[in-house]
A and B are shown apart, each in its own frame.
Chain A
Amino acid sequence: MTHHEYDVVIVGAGGAGMRAALESSQRARTAVLTKLYPTRSHTGAAQGGMAAALANVEDDNAEWHVFDTIKGGDYLVDQDAAEILCNEAIDAVLDLEKMGLPFNRTPEGKVDQRRFGGHTRNHGEAAVRRACYSADRTGHMILQTLYQQCIKQEVEFFNEYYVLDLILDSDPQAAAEGEDVSVAGVVALELSTGEIHTFSAKSVVFATGGAGKVFKTTSNAHTLTGDGMGIALNAGLPLEDMEFFQFHPTGLAGLGILLSEAARGEGGILRNSEGERFMERYAPTIKDLAPRDMVARAMANEVREGRGAGPHKDYVLLDLTHLEPAHIDEKLPDITEFARTYLGVEPYTEPVPVYPTAHYAMGGIPTTVQGEVLRNNLDTVKGLYAAGECACVSVHGANRLGTNSLLDINVFGRRAGIAAAEHAVATAEAAAFPDDAAARVEGIVTRLLGTVGGSGTERVAEVRKVLQETMDRNVQVFRDASSLEEATRVIAELKERYQDVAIHDRGKRFNTDLLEAIELGFLLEIAEVVVAGALARQESRGGHYREDFPTRDDEKFMHHTMAYATGDGVRLDTKPVIVTRYQPMERKY
């Protein structure tokens, strides 16, 4: 075991982690620990754009963006956070441009902008061109640009270090309100050697990304297993609004691979088996550019009412055939290649089969607008920060608008990096790092390695498959009490079966079998929290749609969910939504 000491430790090297590192490393001694090489992070898979009211191509302003974000989030957005997001968006884009990001350009040479779902002119009048983009690989360009800047700044990376535990100086659930709880550091497994490392730090930033792999059909990478959220939960911290999961309308049918909303922003149209542009019925004003939750539900509804396309009538069609091939090549080169490679469909001449795919966790580790992690509704953990998809600040509320996540990671990644470094600089001594800090992780690793050749009868892949299929069947676009109770029952059963899992690789080095077994543990915990929140929320709001409670109920449910892990399962609490100037209205597009 090796012990390290830093001022700031950042966990995760996607967009939020690296944006934080660029700030933190200028101010304090910083280490970035990442399960993957930084350039493998899933920020790189984001496609369509990053929202900012630059007004480079038409009239726009940050206030319209704030309104759209709040309405898009079905009024569960914390409005102070949304104001920060949208006001700081412009500098966030300009900062990236100055770092070298190759945005597409207007004829005048400025950053070009295009339309995206839910982003409108003057509070809903019409779609507005707000998304700054680089073809359909904007996330790739952001990830590359931030990594390049990290190289320039000589940021210290610990690549393929898998963080498995968060060390606090006292139990955050046992501590009284107002009492200080501070971060002490993290424990990580070095994948190439199997060695356990401990990191003492004055500040820790979690930027570990999402948990899409709780579902079967997902746009998320295999590695997005909710590790950071699971670690926080195990450390006694709450998770906020986990029942709100976004299903992106246009996943490649059967595969879930993402086809950017930019396809519709550039003029693509969704059609059912009858060739009808069905979104005209669901969102008469902005049609195919309605927010994702509404489009995903409309698609699923078309399919269940028998208007799905294909031999099994189980998908709808994304039609780009009326667009010029040259326009497609310039603006949507990657996604059209995905359709060709994986479905053998030529988007110039054939519509592309699509169906909603699990895409984004609106919920996560609750934070303040400075990225400080909350341990209850009021108290922060001193020195602990979170940003990006693993966090919930909450700017996305019940449904995130497209292009607001690339924005989120830049704005709140930056804020968390600055706050973490400033806290470290102002803190004389890191909290005492306990001698037995690694015991829990050693216990997990030893237990799992001990299952090789043992009596365990369960396979990781089989338990995970049942979990993912259960979540797709019961907790997807449409939910109700009986489907959620079924999911609850199966997850409890799978948690039992997980205790009996056996792995097959006895090696210490690059034991990816062990890695997948640990990841499955996190997936089961996250799934349990998602379902518990969904069951308790007897209303429909944003990405959470209950068929047995089909309307939004502001009287009973205009609040955030706070979920805590306890010895007897998930305990749910509520947290007020911060409202500054926008009162809830009916959500029509």
Chain B
Amino acid sequence: MTATAESPAVGEVKAMTVTLRILRSKPEGTDEHKPGEQYWQEFQVEAHATDRVLDALHKIKWEQDGSLAFRRSCAHGVCGSDAMRINARNRLACKTLLKDLNPAKPIIVEPIKGLPVEKDLIVDMEPFFASYREIMPFLMTTGNAPARERLQSSEQRDRFDDTTKCILCAACTTSCPVFWTDGQYFGPQAIVGAHRFIFDSRDEGQWDRLEILNDKAGVWKCRTAFNCTEACPRGIEVTKAISEVKHALTTGEF
């Protein structure tokens, strides 16, 4: 027999029963619900305090109700697929541990707000990505490219390091009260995406982007509610990035 290949468990964690209250909807409807109608459904699962909310959702899907629909991929907070509203806050289901909630109470899980709901926890991401594309999220340079790399000091790189961490999960944009009510606003993520290039010393497209963000759909819509900063699973200081873009617009300084 070969050696131990079983994955080891770290410490012993007691199992417990947790309740998830999920806001569901079926595009084709069910016997009790019209197509697209949202309704609450509760599930109980056996879980450990160190389990992720995603683990609990998988337990429901795999053991109780295969029709529960949600997106996920990497399961450790880097792909940005599973942003959802958990206990009234936007988070990644794979980065939220049950012990960080209050497993004694039902855990409330809803789709992120402000984008059209497609099915259960899945929303239409297209309007979100359209806003991202709008701000020209790519390096713009003029003249011939150098033979080797463009030089950049560590200090210059640090200037935009924070906003390079964005994984396009939409947790920030769909936590923004302005985005919920104003159909025009690009939302925080698009501004983060622009910030990443505006403050990159190699980029020459700052004013093209700033012009877009100066528009009525742009940065001036932000009311500094700070929801976005709180929601970001990557710890990006989103509101600060938006303020820096506002500052660049008024002073012309980067």
Contacts and interface: CB of A to CB of B under 8 A. Distances in A.
A binds B: yes
Interface of A: 36-37, 39-42, 44-45, 93-94, 97-100, 102-105, 107-111, 134, 137, 140-141, 144, 148-149, 151-152, 192, 216-217, 221-223, 253-257, 300-301, 303-304, 308, 310-312, 314-315, 334, 338, 341-344, 353, 355, 357, 459-461, 472-474, 476-480, 482-483, 503-513, 547
19 contacts: A37-B125, A40-B73, A40-B74, A40-B80, A40-B81, A98-B139, A102-B160, A102-B164, A109-B153, A151-B133, A257-B75, A300-B4, A303-B3, A311-B11, A315-B10, A473-B6, A478-B2, A478-B3, A512-B61
Interface string B164-192: 11111000000000000000000000000
A310 B4 CA distance: 15
Contact of A312 (B9, B28, B69): B9
B84 interface: no
B77 interface: yes
A25 to B, nearest CB: 14
Contact of A44 (B74, B75, B125, B133): B74
Could you say which of B62, B79, B197 has the most chain A C-beta atoms within 10 Å of its C-beta?
A: B79
A253 B8 contact: yes
A513 B8 contact: no
Q: Give the top 10 A-B pairs by smallest Cβ distance, nearest first.
A: A100-B139, A314-B8, A504-B66, A461-B62, A109-B151, A505-B67, A476-B5, A217-B7, A513-B66, A304-B3
Interface string B121-153: 010010001001100111100000110111111
Contact of B168 (A39, A343, A353, A355): A39
A417 to B, nearest CB: 18
Given A303-B4, A472-B6, A507-B27, 16 more contacts: A36-B81, A102-B200, A104-B154, A108-B151, A140-B167, A151-B137, A192-B118, A253-B8, A254-B7, A341-B95, A342-B97, A344-B50, A355-B7, A459-B63, A478-B5, A507-B119
Contacts of A102: 157, 160-161, 164, 200
A44 B97 contact: no
A152 B165 contact: no
Contacts of B136: 152
Nearest to B28: A507
A505 B28 CA distance: 11
A452 B161 CA distance: 49
B203 interface: yes
Interface of B: 1-12, 26-28, 50, 61-63, 65-67, 69-81, 95, 97, 118-119, 122, 125, 129, 132-133, 136-139, 145-146, 148-154, 156-157, 160-161, 164-168, 197, 200, 202-203
B84 to A, nearest CB: 14
B9 A254 contact: yes
A300 B95 CA distance: 28
A253 B27 contact: no
A94 B149 contact: yes
Given A40-B81, A151-B137, A301-B3, A111 B202 contact: no
Contacts, number: 210
Nearest to A56: B149
Contacts of A109: 151-153, 156
Contact of B28 (A107, A149, A253, A508): A508
B2 A110 contact: no
Contacts of B74: 40, 42, 44-45, 221-222
Contacts of A512: 61, 69-70
A480 B1 CA distance: 8
A477 B5 contact: yes
Nearest to A545: B2
B69 A300 contact: no
Given A504-B67, A507-B27, A342 B76 contact: yes
Contacts of A151: 132-133, 137-138
Contacts of A105: 151-154, 157
A39 B46 CA distance: 33
Contacts of B75: 221-222, 257
A254 B8 CA distance: 5
Contacts of A476: 2, 5
B167 A44 contact: yes
A82 B183 CA distance: 52
Contacts of A36: 73, 79, 81
Contacts of A353: 8, 10
Most chain B CB within 10 A, of A141, A473, A479, A503, is at: A473
Contacts of B168: 37, 39
Contacts of A40: 71, 73-74, 79-81
Contacts of B4: 300, 303-304, 314
B197 A100 contact: yes
A263 to B, nearest CB: 16
A212 B164 CA distance: 28
Given A42-B73, A216-B7, A474-B2, A505 B78 contact: no
Contacts of B200: 100, 102
B50 to A, nearest CB: 8
B10 A253 contact: yes
Contacts of A110: 148-149, 151
B6 to A, nearest CB: 7
B55 to A, nearest CB: 10
B145 A98 contact: yes
A474 B79 contact: no
A100 B10 contact: no
Contact of A310 (B8, B97, B132): B8
